[in-house]
Amino acid sequence: MAETVKLLGTKGSPYSHRAEVALRLKEVNFEFLHEDLAHKSDMLLRYNPIHKKIPVLVHEEKSIVESLIVVEYVHEAFNGYAILPSDPYERAMARFWARYIDEKVIPAFWMSCWTDGEMQKGFIGQAKEALTILESQLKGKKFFGGDSIGFVDLAAGMVAFWFGILQEVAGISLLNEEDYPVLCRWADDYCSVEAVKESLLDRKLLVAHFASKKEKIFATKAPVYD
């Protein structure tokens, strides 16, 4: 029987990762369709005509796009694991922190890696502040979601796995154990969760990928796929 749930994504994308982990947490049977972002498939263009990006979740022929929207959909459409909290205020907080990660943490960190001189100093300052604020949210918990991973942990997946890789390739040390002991401990715990482990690419492969594209990314400040 053909799977009614398909995920169009790539293993190298932290956004695709969010969607994949959500499906794994819910133990949904899904087919992972790997997209070559240098040569986007007709299927991708059909299911996400406006943005033409991954991840795209296809459920019974309907498409859901934008990683955090996909995660909320998976939480609402499938039974089982609670990705978002049941309390409305806790849910609002989770949504706030996911937004904070997307709007403050990730852009500042990304630009810290791919700029230099005074510009880089500026971005590093912003990234440090954002990471400090994010770390403070852990407040002695194992995960942002409490005892088990939740919406904010998935949103922060890029921090847990990709940040270390990016900074290594860029030659900076921003997210390190000395400055962010709690966040680094969280990152290890996050990457050890079964549903997360199953969806992560081998670290060496990702390092090699970013290293090979380093100059192009530095020039464009954007991911490079070809």
Partner 1 sequence: MGETLKLFGWKVSPYSHRAEVALRLKGLKYEFIHEDLANKSDMLIRYNPILKKIPVLLHGDTPIVESQVIVEYIDEVFDGHPILPKDPYERAEARFWARFIDEKVRPQVWMSCWTDGETQKSFIAQAKESLAILQGRLEGKKFFGGDSIGLIDIMACSLALWFGVMQEVVGLNLLNEDDYPELCRWGEEYRNAEAVKECLPERELIVGFFAPRKDRIFAKKAPVYD
Interface positions with partner 1 (CB under 8 A): 50, 59, 62, 64-66, 69-70, 72-73, 76-77, 88-89, 91-92, 95-96, 99-100, 133
Instruction: Give the residue with the Cβ less far from partner 1, 23 or 206.
Output: 23
Instruction: Give the residue with the Cβ less far from partner 1, 88 or 140.
Output: 88
Instruction: Give the residue with the Cβ less far from partner 1, 88 or 171.
Output: 88
CB of 51 to partner 1, least distance (A): 8
CB of 59 to partner 1, least distance (A): 8
Instruction: Give the residue with the Cβ less far from partner 1, 54 or 169.
Output: 54
What would the two tokens of residue 183 be?
């966040």
What would the two tokens of residue 102 be?
């997307």
Helices (H), 78-222: 88-100, 106-113, 117-136, 151-155, 157, 163-170, 181-192, 194-197, 203-220
CB of 208 to partner 1, least distance (A): 31
- Determine phi and psi for 18, rounding to 5 degrees: -60, -45
CB of 66 to partner 1, least distance (A): 6
CB of 125 to partner 1, least distance (A): 16
**Torsion angle, alpha carbons of 73, 78, 84, 88, to 10:** 80
CA distance 42 to 90: 39
Using an 8 Å Cβ cutoff, are 59 and 77 in contact?
yes
CA atoms within 13 A of residue 157's CA, in its CB half-sphere? 28
The residue to which tokens 């390739």 are assigned: 169
Instruction: Give the residue with the Cβ less far from partner 1, 65 or 156.
Output: 65
